[in-house]
Amino acid sequence: MTDSNKDKSISSEQVYSEDLDHDNSSIVSRVVNSFKPAAVKPDLDISQMSDLEKANYFASHQPLQQSLKSRHLFWLAIGGVLGSGIFVSSGYNLSIAGPGGLLVGYVIVAYAILCVVLSLAEIATQFTVAGSFISLFGRFLSPAFNWVFGLVYALSWLISLPSELVAIALTIQYWNDSISPSVWVAIFYVLIVVINLFGVKAWGETEFILSIIKVLAVIGFIILGICIICGVGDQGYIGARYWHNPGSFNNGFKGVCSSFISAAFTFGGTELVAIASSETKNPRKSLPKATKQVFWRITLFYIVSAIIIGFLVPSNDDLLLNGSGVSASPFVIAVSNGGIKVVPHIMNAVVLSASFSVGNSCVYGCSRVLASMAVQEQGFLPRIFGYVDRKGRPLVAIIFTCLIGLLGFLVESANEGTVFTWLFSVCSLSSFFTWAAICVTHIRFRRALYIQGRSLDEVIFVSPMGLVGSITGVIILGLIIIAEIWISIWPIGQSASVSTFWQNCLSLPLMIVMWFIYNIYNKSFSPLLIDLKDIDLDSGRRDWDVELLKQELAEERLQYQSKPFYYKLYKFFC
């Protein structure tokens, strides 16, 4: 590669916009100018590229600011999406599946998630796509799958935003139910909008602080929980009392299966770290390291918490099923049953911060996905959604997402629960399909390398679980989807229910219909999958000089091999 081409590869990583930091005009003028569109200057002649190559190029050259630091990505991976799923919804899982069923369900989904994030880390580090990893589906699967999975994934964030606002209002009612919940929805809605309009740095700092709070709270709960189990508190020694009575498993195998959707809601958003990585200065280093932290989050926060909850709260506790809002949280129930007066209020504050954090991430995640889909050549979304201003904000996508957030004011409606149940049905199984698609994408990336005569020597980060992890991940996620369809048709304790099926599985026929709509709109049915020999392995990469990259990676691996075993063990997990 010539020096001029190498220079181009360096400049392609920069954001081409006017330097507002050195603007000497008034503050008002600078604020107004910051909302003007960023001036992107293509650094290559794209006229000879195919449509798919153009899509890959534009997806990796959005003018988003790279303002996030490694510490932001680290804490986002550790505690960024710890939300009401683990703090509140785990109680419903416990009541339906029992402590054993809850633990088994979490372990199965946790293994699948670990396979997913490590597979995603490998391909997202190789092709750091500005805005969203969703465009990788178009590169390695087909444009139709890019559109289907991208829209459904964006919908999952979009619908979660008003839901989290409602959760915030209900959480505050634990302290004061005399004030209308819509007041709290309005206050926190404005806070979320303002934070996201301040840019990715403000969002990153907010998530950094909230993640630390959530992580410390969960660690504190685990320590406190162990103390209560061992006899500290009004109940005396608890031990494994509730595993024997009322029992370890409720509703047998169906109980375990029923915990999968709630577990998916709890684990949802784990892949957000890959979206945020494109707005860091050095994703090649920060993304692999951050994704490895997911192992610790899964083990410490989800698995250990599930074990502690199972020991502390009986699965037939009336509040688990009949409590509302945070009063149904097994965390709050556990410390309340232990006779500890102050801690429930602390846990309620943590649940509040967790819901606010997830709502904040909903705007970030959805806006980046929408903007990424809008700039691609296939026309997945109207171009206006790809508008990025001079501060690197996908402005139209943020505004659109925030407008949908106004649905949070449905908290005043008596039918609020029914409305959100059917809204979530649109993306009920979508998390499992998105995760499975990531694993399939990783498999096809490895196969494309082999078919095109290339090797892992040019792969920046190699997943520790390799192809085995992706294959087993696809199998497990496929079996979970089948299990969810089964219990949706024949719910626990009920006869066959059409309503329950559509509430839990509406996303399945919807995605099939969306796939046909895409092909009909484009007036041609594209192949189900792109031929492996035609997969583009080069355009949009940050490292243009493959031979130089191979040399650098070989040197890094040689240094790694010379390290002692404890260093290798540390690097494997961290």
pLDDT at 15: 40
The pLDDT of residue 26: 72
Residue 235 or 251, more confident: 251
pLDDT for 14 equals 39
pLDDT reading at 3 higher than 60: no
**Residue 40 pLDDT class (50, 70, 90 cuts):** low
Task: Quickly state the pLDDT bin for 55 (edges 50, 70, 90).
Answer: low
Instruction: Specify the higher pLDDT residue, 144 or 34.
Output: 144
Please list, in sequence order, all residues whose beta carbon lies within 8 angstroms of the beta carbon of residue 544, skipping any fewer than 6 positions away: 1, 5, 6, 8, 9
Higher-confidence position of 402 and 292:
402
Instruction: Please tell me the distance from the alpha carbon of residue 254 to that of residue 491, in angstroms, as a whole number.
Output: 8
Confidence of residue 126 (pLDDT cuts 50, 70, 90): confident
Residue 215 has pLDDT above 70, yes or no: yes
Q: DSSP states of 4-42 as a string? A: HHHHHHHHTTS--S--GGG--S-HHHHHHHHTSBP----
The tokens describing 487, both together, are 């219990």
Give yes or no for a contact between 411 and 182, defined as CB atoms under 8 angstroms apart.
yes
How high is the pLDDT of residue 100? 92
pLDDT tens readout for residues 508-551: 888 999 888 888 887 777 678 889 998 888 776 665 566 677 77
Cα(156)–Cα(154) distance, integer angstroms = 5
**Pairs from 170-178 (Cβ < 8 Å, separation ≥ 24):** 170/324, 170/325, 170/326, 170/411, 171/325, 171/326, 171/348, 171/351, 171/352, 171/355, 172/352, 173/325, 174/325, 174/326, 174/327, 174/348, 175/345, 175/348
pLDDT at residue 178 tops 80: yes
How much is the average pLDDT of 255-260? 86
pLDDT at residue number 48: 64
For the ranges 176-185, 283-292, 407-416, which has the lowest average pLDDT? 283-292
Question: Highest mean pLDDT: which of 83-92, 308-317, 332-341?
Answer: 308-317
Q: What is the pLDDT of residue 376?
A: 66
**Cα torsion through 512, 513, 516, 522, rounded to 10:** -130
Sign of CA dihedral 50, 56, 57, 59: positive
* CA gap 80, 87 in Å, rounded: 14
> Residue 5 pLDDT > 50, yes or no?
no
Domain residue extents for the chain: 64-543
CATH number for the segment(s) 64-543: 1.20.1740.10
Q: Which residue has the higher pLDDT, 14 or 424?
A: 424
Average pLDDT over residues 450-472: 89
- Give the pLDDT confidence of 481-511 residue by residue, as tens digits: 998 888 888 888 777 778 888 888 888 888 9
Q: What pLDDT, on the 0 to 100 scale, is given for residue 236?
A: 79
Adjacent-strand bridge partners of 389: 37
Mean pLDDT for 387-404 is: 89
Over 50: is that where the pLDDT of 116 sits? Answer: yes
Mean of pLDDT values over 318-333: 75
Q: What is the mean pLDDT of the chain?
A: 81
Residue 365 has pLDDT above 80, yes or no: yes
Cα(79)–Cα(354) distance, integer angstroms: 9
pLDDT of residue 9: 35
What is the rounded average pLDDT of the residues 4-12? 37
Average pLDDT over residues 108-135: 85
- In the 8-state DSSP scheme, what is residue 68? B
Answer yes or no: is pLDDT of 446 > 90. Answer: yes
CB 209 within 8 A of CB 373: no
Mean pLDDT, range 397-420, rounded to an integer = 88
pLDDT at residue 80 is higher than 70 = no
